[in-house]
C-alpha cells in the first residue's frame, strides 16, 4: 500500500501552504481523489492523523471529494460515465473512449486559523 508515501506528500503540501499563509493551525484539508487514483480515502485519513501529530495540521479534518471516472468519446465527442460491464460510448458504441476524469489526486484547499484572526475572533465572541 502506497498511501503512507502519498499522505506524506499531502502533509508537506499542506504545511508549506499553511506556512505561506502564516497560519497558526490547519483545521481542514480538502482533497480531490479520483475513483481510479488507487488511493483509499480512509487509509489516507488514518495516516494523516498519525503523520500530522505535532505539526500545525494536527487534528485537521480531512475531507475527500471522490471524482467519478468519466470518458470522452474520440469518435463522437460524447462524455459519459462508463459502467464496469460497458465501457463503450452509449451514443455511438465506439470503444475509443479516453479517460477525462477519475485519476486526479490533489490538495484542493485548506482551512487555516491565523494567530491574529483567531484571537480576534475569540475575543469578539466573548
Rounded to the nearest whole angstrom, what is the least distance from the CB of residue 107 to other proteins in the complex?
5
C-alpha cell at 16: 508549506
Phi, psi at 43, each rounded to 5° = -65, -45
Instruction: Show the site string, 76-115: x = touches other proteins by CB under 8 A, - = not.
Output: --------xxxxx------xxx-x---x-xxxxxxxxxx-
Run of H or E residues at 108: strand 105-114
Rounded to the nearest whole angstrom, what is the least distance from the CB of residue 109 to other proteins in the complex?
5
Radius of gyration of the chain (CA): 19
User: Could you say whether residue 13 binds other proteins (CB under 8 A)?
Assistant: yes
User: Could you say whether residue 6 binds Zn ion (CB under 5 A)?
Assistant: no
Amino acid at each position: 500500500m502506497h498511501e503512507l508515501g502519498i499522505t506524506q506528500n499531502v502533509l508537506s503540501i499542506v504545511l508549506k501552504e499553511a506556512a505561506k499563509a502564516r497560519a497558526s493551525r490547519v483545521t481542514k484539508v480538502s482533497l480531490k481523489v479520483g475513483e481510479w487514483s488507487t488511493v483509499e480515502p480512509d487509509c489516507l485519513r488514518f495516516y494523516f492523523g498519525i503523520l500530522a501529530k505535532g505539526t500545525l495540521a494536527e487534528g485537521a479534518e480531512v475531507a475527500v471529494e471522490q471524482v467519478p471516472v468519466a470518458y470522452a468519446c474520440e469518435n463522437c465527442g460524447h462524455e459519459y460515465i462508463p459502467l464496469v460491464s460497458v465501457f463503450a460510448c452509449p451514443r455511438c458504441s465506439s470503444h475509443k473512449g479516453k479517460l477525462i476524469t477519475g485519476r486526479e489526486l490533489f490538495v484542493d484547499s485548506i482551512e487555516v486559523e491565523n494567530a491574529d484572526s483567531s484571537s480576534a475572533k475569540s475575543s469578539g465572541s466573548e
